[in-house]
C-alpha cells in the first residue's frame, strides 16, 4: 500500500526524534520514497547523516544549501508528496502550523502541501494538556489534518501521562489504512455546480453575487479523491480544482449553466447543485454600454431564469441522487425543506448567512444536512474541505 508513495517525513526537536529513525526505516521497507525535512532543533536530537543514509536522499533542513546556494523548493515538495507525516511534532511546531508561522523549511512545506498531513505529537504531559496545545490541535483538525494521538506512559521527564509519540509501527498502520481505504464513489459519475452566474446588462455590467466557488470546488476535489468521475460546471471564479481529474465546464450565465447541466444529467449518478444561480436576468442585454444620463435612471426589466435544480428534479430517474444547497438568511430550516420538496431533491445542504463563518467567500462553512426521508443533521464549523467530505459521506449513506 505504501509502495511507490512519496512521503515527506518531518522531524522536529523532541526526544522522540529517535523513534523517527525507526519510522523512516519502516516506511522505506514498505517501498515508500521518503524525503526527510528536519527542523534546526530536530538536528540537536538526531543527525541528518543517519537519516540520509536510511532514506537514500539528502536531508533538507534549510531553505538553501549554504555551500552551493541550492534552493529547496517547498512548493515542489508540497506537490511531490502523497502524504506528509510530522513525527514527532512538538508543541512549538504544532503552534506554528496552526498559525502559519513559516519560519523554517518544515512549516513552509506544510503550508504548501497539497497532500494529506499526519501529525504525531510528542511532548510532556502538561504541555499536551495545556489549552493552547489542545486548541492548536483542534485548529489542525479543522484544516483536515490527521492527528495521530500520543499514547500514555512514562515520558522523558519520568512523569507518567499522555504525550508519548505513537509507536512507529502504529503510525505506518495509520498511513496504510489511509491509503487502502476503499474509494466509496469509484465508478460514480458526478455533476457538480459551483460559483456564481453573471447575467449581462451591457458589455461592462452584470447581475451577479458573492460566490467564489470555494464550496463547490472543495466538493469536486473531495469527490474525485473518493473515486468519482467529476464534471464541475462552474460560473466565473478565480480558482481551479486541485484534482487534475476534475473536468471543468466553464459557463457564465444561468441559462448556460442550465444547458450544460441538462446535457449531462442523464449520464450522471449524483448531482450536487452548489452554485449560487441568479434567479433573474435582464430581459434585454444592451450591445453597447448604457450611458449615464443627466436626468434619467435606466430601468432594467428582469425575467426569470430557469431553476436548474428543479429542472433536473423533474428529469430525475430512479437511482439518481440530486442534492441541492439552500443559502438562507431567515427561517432557515423551513425554507430549506420547501426547496427540498419543490425541487424534488434527495438531500439539501443548508447554510445560513447568519453564521459568520458560513456562506460566501469564507474558507469555512457550517451546515445542516436535511434528507428527503426527514432526517436533519447539524455539523459544527469546519473547513470547506471537511464540509465537502461530510456532504459526500452523507450521500454515500443514502
Catalytic residue list: 209
Contacts to ligand PMT from residues 321-360, by CB under 6 A:
324-327, 339, 351, 359-360
Burial of 361 (0-12, 13-18, 19+ CB in 10 A): exposed
User: Of 211, 234, 364, 383, which one interacts with ligand PMT (CB under 6 A)?
Assistant: 211
The set of residues, in sequence order, having a beta carbon less than 8 Å from that of 97 and lying 6+ positions away, is 86, 89, 107, 110, 119, 136, 140, 145
DSSP annotation string for 284-309: S--SSPPPPPSS------EEEPP-HH
- In this complex, which beta carbon is closest to ligand PMT, that of residue 167 or of residue 279? 279
Quote the least distance from Cβ 305 to ligand PMT, whole Å: 5
Taking the complex as a whole, how short is the minimal distance between the CB of residue 201 and ligand PMT, in angstroms? 18
Residue owning grid cell 515527506: 8
Using rule CB under 6 A, residue 212 touches ligand PMT: yes
Write out the binding residues for ligand PMT, residues 218-247 only, by CB under 6 A.
Answer: none
Q: What share of the chain is helix, strand, coil (3-state, %, to 5)?
A: 35, 25, 40
136 is a contact residue toward ligand PMT (CB under 6 A): no
Question: Binding to ligand PMT by residue 307, rule CB under 6 A?
Answer: yes
CB 255 within 8 A of CB 215: no
CB nearer to ligand PMT: pick between 360 and 379: 360
Nearer to ligand PMT (CB atom), residue 171 or residue 274: 274
Cβ closest to ligand PMT, residue 285 vs residue 335: 335
Q: Rule CB under 6 A: say whether 387 interacts with ligand PMT.
A: no
- For residue 152, give the 3-state DSSP assignment: strand
By C-alpha distance, which of 195, 209, 319 is closest to 260? Answer: 195
Q: What minimum distance in Å lies between the beta carbon of 392 and ligand PMT?
A: 14
Binding-site member from 254, 322, 347, 388 for ligand PMT (CB under 6 A): 254
Q: If 0-12 CB within 10 Å is exposed, 13-18 middle and 19+ buried, where does residue 162 land?
A: middle
Name the one range near ligand PMT by CB under 6 A: 62-70, 76-84, 226-234, 267-275.
Answer: 267-275
Grid cell locating 352: 445560513
Do 322 and 372 touch, CB atoms closer than 8 A?
Answer: no
Cell triple for 348: 439539501
Closer to ligand PMT by Cβ: residue 77 or 220? 220
Q: Which stretch binds ligand PMT (CB under 6 A): 23-31, 87-95, 183-191, 304-312?
A: 304-312
For residue 64, what is the DSSP state? B
- Max CA separation in the chain (angstroms): 84
Asked if 277 interacts with ligand PMT (CB under 6 A), we say: yes
Point out which residues bind ligand PMT (CB under 6 A).
Answer: 193, 195, 211-216, 254, 273-277, 279, 305, 307-309, 324-327, 339, 351, 359-361
Amino acid at each position: 500500500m505504501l509502495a511507490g508513495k512519496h512521503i515527506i517525513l518531518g522531524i522536529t526537536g523532541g526526544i522522540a526524534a529517535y523513534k523517527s529513525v525507526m519510522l523512516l526505516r519502516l516506511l522505506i521497507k514498505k517501498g515508500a520514497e521518503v524525503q526527510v525535512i528536519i527542523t534546526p532543533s530536530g538536528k540537536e536530537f538526531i543527525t541528518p547523516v543517519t537519516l540520509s543514509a536510511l532514506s537514500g536522499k539528502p536531508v533538507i533542513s534549510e531553505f538553501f544549501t549554504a555551500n552551493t546556494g541550492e534552493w529547496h523548493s517547498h512548493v515542489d515538495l508540497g506537490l511531490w508528496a502523497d502524504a506528509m507525516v510530522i513525527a514527532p511534532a512538538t508543541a512549538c511546531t504544532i503552534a506554528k502550523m496552526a498559525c502559519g508561522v513559516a519560519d523554517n523549511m518544515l512549516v513552509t512545506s506544510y503550508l504548501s502541501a497539497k497532500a494529506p498531513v499526519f501529525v504525531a505529537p510528542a511532548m510532556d504531559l502538561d504541555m499536551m494538556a495545556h489549552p493552547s496545545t489542545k486548541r492548536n490541535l483542534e485548529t489542525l483538525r479543522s484544516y483536515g489534518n490527521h492527528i495521530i494521538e500520543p499514547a500514555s506512559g512514562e515520558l522523558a521527564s519520568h512523569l507518567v501521562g499522555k504525550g508519548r509519540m505513537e509507536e512507529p509501527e502504529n503510525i505506518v498502520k495509520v498511513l496504510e489504512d489511509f491509503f487502502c481505504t476503499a474509494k466509496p464513489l469509484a465508478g460514480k459519475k458526478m455533476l457538480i455546480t459551483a460559483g456564481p452566474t453573471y447575467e449581462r446588462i451591457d458589455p461592462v455590467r452584470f447581475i451577479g453575487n458573492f460566490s467564489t466557488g470555494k464550496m463547490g470546488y472543495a466538493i469536486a476535489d473531495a469527490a474525485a479523491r473518493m473515486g468519482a468521475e467529476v464534471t464541475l460546471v462552474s460560473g466565473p471564479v478565480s480558482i481551479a480544482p486541485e484534482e487534475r481529474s476534475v473536468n471543468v465546464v466553464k459557463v457564465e450565465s444561468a441559462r448556460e449553466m442550465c444547458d450544460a447541466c441538462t446535457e449531462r444529467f442523464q449520464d450522471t449518478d449524483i448531482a450536487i447543485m452548489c452554485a449560487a444561480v441568479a434567479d433573474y436576468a435582464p430581459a434585454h442585454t444592451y450591445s453597447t454600454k448604457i450611458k449615464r444620463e443627466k436626468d434619467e435612471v435606466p430601468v432594467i426589466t428582469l425575467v426569470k431564469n430557469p431553476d436548474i435544480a428543479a429542472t433536473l428534479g423533474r428529469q430525475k430517474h430512479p437511482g439518481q441522487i440530486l442534492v441541492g444547497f439552500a443559502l438562507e438568511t431567515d427561517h432557515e430550516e423551513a425554507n430549506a425543506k420547501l426547496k427540498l420538496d419543490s425541487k424534488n431533491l434527495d438531500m439539501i445542504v443548508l447554510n445560513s448567512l447568519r453564521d459568520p463563518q458560513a456562506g460566501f467567500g469564507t474558507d469555512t462553512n457550517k451546515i445542516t444536512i436535511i434528507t428527503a426521508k426527514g432526517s436533519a443533521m447539524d455539523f459544527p464549523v469546519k473547513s470547506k474541505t471537511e464540509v465537502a467530505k461530510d456532504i459526500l459521506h452523507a450521500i454515500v449513506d443514502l
